[in-house]
Structure 1
Amino acid sequence: MSLSRRSYLSGAAAGALTLALPRVALAGAQIEEPLIDSVRNALSSAIRSAAPPRPEFPDTASRLAYLRWLGEMSERLKKKIIDPQPRIDFLQTVWYESKRSGLDVSLVLGLIQVESNFRKYAVSSAGARGLMQVMPFWTRVIGDGDSAKLFHMQTNLRFGCVILRHYLNREDGDLFLTLGRYNGSRGKAPYPNAVFANQRLWVFAERPPQA
């Protein structure tokens, strides 16, 4: 193999590895914009919620599928959130808020890994806060302006998921542009590509039943 090709392949492999790693520095700044009433109400209700939400299921099969997902994700997340109960509370909440906003849970987990690496009290250089790196102006737009509330797990996850859904609607379902808008880098590839790379780490595939 030629030196130039070896160098190219080494660089490509390093680039792929870098892409899959958490990139806290990529946390950008959402842009303040008018909100429709349904978005405003969804964010306001999050500020008033104190406890992790309790998922409800239409049947036993759905509940068992959720519990299998929860067990698998808890194993994968052990190194990021060591204590079992906070880890379960987080997964329960991120599942609930993702489903509530019509988002793929693996996408939201991938975004959280890129934005904060699962650090509840992360703060970016742009001032974004918490797990989903929500900008403080959102609390002023729909609440009392207390940005410390963005360190509350459910509030942060509700804000992040509702804002992401809002942007997805604005971009007519285009995830690439949606993620760029969320990060304040609309149209640029590094941030969406990083989220997509990390999303793959959180995809859950049901195992077929054993005979």
Structure 2
Amino acid sequence: MSLTMDVVLQRARPVLPVLVIEDIGLALDLAGALRAGGIDVLEVTLRAPRALDALAAIRKEFPDLLVGAGTLIHTEQFLEARDAGAHFAVSPGCTERLAAAAEDSGLPYLPGVMTPSEVLLALEYGYRSLKLFPANGNGSVKMLKSLKGPFTGIRFCPTGGVTPDNLLTFLRLPNVACVGGTWIAPTSLIRARAWDQITQLASEARELAGSLELHS
């Protein structure tokens, strides 16, 4: 069965870590720390020069993880990501050319939206799993509540502003599949090789979400 973005988001719940890996030598330790914290879906953003090399290394070492490529803003990046072994692709926005490139690559694609018009555009291209970006606190929570009515069946992954303090507020929304975040593995902790702290942050996020599921 082919992988779909809906399946990726379901498996990622509660959180899809958004990773900026500046030093490829730290990629495997980072992935291992997240895996130890119960995370098995990762997004490696293409903001660092050797991000695709880091992605390929994680794929080889941890075949059980789902590893996606994020911050795809150029059409050629989709084939590059696929060839590096990415399971899925994520963009901060959605354009006709990016949607076409995603289709050509065959990768499950999570395009970014922020307004109802952008949701409609993504729907025209057949996407029903979307990234809400940027997700800035209460304003984004209100937006997601407003989008639920006219966009039945659409699932969102809010990213860019999600923190441990508002994690449950987002996850309680019925149209939120999971959240994306850098706080699970911030650059400062990666540089410090603070793998135990990263594992703890991942575990805490899962425990928070678990308490929500128990009371739902």
**Structure of greater relative contact order (alpha carbons < 8 Å, 6+ residues apart):** 1
Which of the two has higher C-alpha Rg? 1
Greater fraction strand: 2
Greater fraction helix: 1
TM-score (structure 1 length as normaliser): 0.26
TM-score (structure 2 length as normaliser): 0.25
